[in-house]
Structure formats: structure tokens, C-alpha cells
Amino acid sequence: MLQPQPPPPPPPPFSHLIPPLVPPTTLLVHQSLDLRLWFDDVNSPDVSGVCRQVLTSLSDMHGCEIVEITIPELQKMRIAHIVSYGSEKLALDSRINLAIIQSFTCSDYVAAQRLRRRLKYYHMEIFKKVDIIVTPSTGMTAPKIHPSALACGESDLEVIASLMKYGLTANVLGFSAISVPVGYDKQGLPIGLQLIGRPWCEATILRLAVVIEQQWNEPKRKPVIYFDVTNTKGK
């Protein structure tokens, strides 16, 4: 005869998952590199060059320690991103590429989720050694808009891949991240530096973002075509 089982113990309070905030005086920054190639895998050396200048200055002026790390399976993360988000979302690019996305099977989706879990494990192991992973925000500065795209839009997978190269980590694995403006390329297009933090450490990346913005507080350049949406005097 079956006996009734006692109810399970109540789960621990959710607050125990949130670590205490790190005092600003102990703030560190670490550089994310995959054999030094991933950081420099950009369309223009201006992007990685400006970002490296920021890291060097943080080390010299604030004593931040720069640590080189290797993140496994970075290329596989792109596959997990395409399969996962292509199956879950129906944006304009997804509609254009439905012929590819429709070929994904349930097994492909499950395999992508397993890959996401493994990639998150790799990153959590890295976060045991560093506080922040630093990368360029994008692999290229703002691309040109072709005249034909104004009427019907466009889907350029090569450009999208370059723009999303460093944003995949936070998107796929759910880490907090922020992009900070740090300079311009030779054409005057803005360059950003991305800060990726471990779970529950948003305050750390926000504090470092403030330091970077204060240190690189150069006048912001307006684009050639600029509309001030906050200016209502002309109405």
C-alpha cells in the first residue's frame, strides 16, 4: 500500500542568489580574448585600436588588471544563436531567411539549447577569474545604407554578422552587458566598448561605464544628418 509522501521543503529565499555589491574601490576590468584573435577580428583596425587604448588607460590610471582569457566554442555560439532565435522570433531578417530556418528540426533546437548551456558553463568558469569581460561593441562601425534599402529594406547577412559578433554572448547566454561610447574611427563614425558582467553584477559594469564616460568625456560629434527629437522650439 502506497504511503503519502511528506511535502518537499520550501525553497530557500530568492535573495540568497544575489551576492553583495563590490565596493567601487575594488573594481577590476579584464579583457576578453580568444588567442588575441577574437578581440581584433573587426572590419577596421580603428575599432580594436580605440578599444585597446581605453583598456591601457584604465590600467595606467586606475590600476585595473588586464587578463587575457580564452573562451571555447565561440564560433559554435553563432550557430546556437541562429537556431534558437530564428526558431523563436519572426523579425524581418528571419522572414527573408525562412527557407533556411524552416529546415531546422526539433533535434536541432534541442542541440542548440544544450550548446547554450555548455557555453554558459564556460563563461561562468571564466567569471571565477575575472570580474568583467571587455570587447568592442560591434565588429564594424555604422554601415552605409544603400538607396534601394530606403524603399524596401535589406538583409545583408555579412554585415549583420559583423555587427552582432560581440553582442551574441549577452543575447544567447543572458548576461548583463552595456555599450559605452569611447571614440570615433577615421571617418568620424562612433566606436563603442562592451562590458559584460556575471549574473547579479549589473552595478559593477555600470560603475565602470561611468568611469569610462568621465575619462573619455570628449565632445560628441553630430552625424551629417541629425534631427534633435527633443527640440520642440521649431514647432
User: Using one digit for the tens of pLDDT, what is the confidence trace for 122-168?
Assistant: 999 989 888 899 999 998 998 888 887 777 667 777 887 788 888 88
Instruction: State pTM to two decimals.
Output: 0.68
Let me know: does 47 contact 136? Beta carbons within 8 Å: yes
Listed in sequence order, the residues at least 6 apart from 18 whose beta carbon sits closer than 8 Å to its beta carbon are 200
CB within 8 Å of 123: residues ≥ 6 apart = 71, 133, 169, 173, 175
> How many other CB atoms sit within 10 Å of the CB of residue 144?
7
Question: What tens digit of pLDDT does each residue of 118-133 get?
Answer: 999 999 998 988 889 9
Residue 96, burial from CB neighbour count under 10 angstroms (0-12, 13-18, 19+): middle
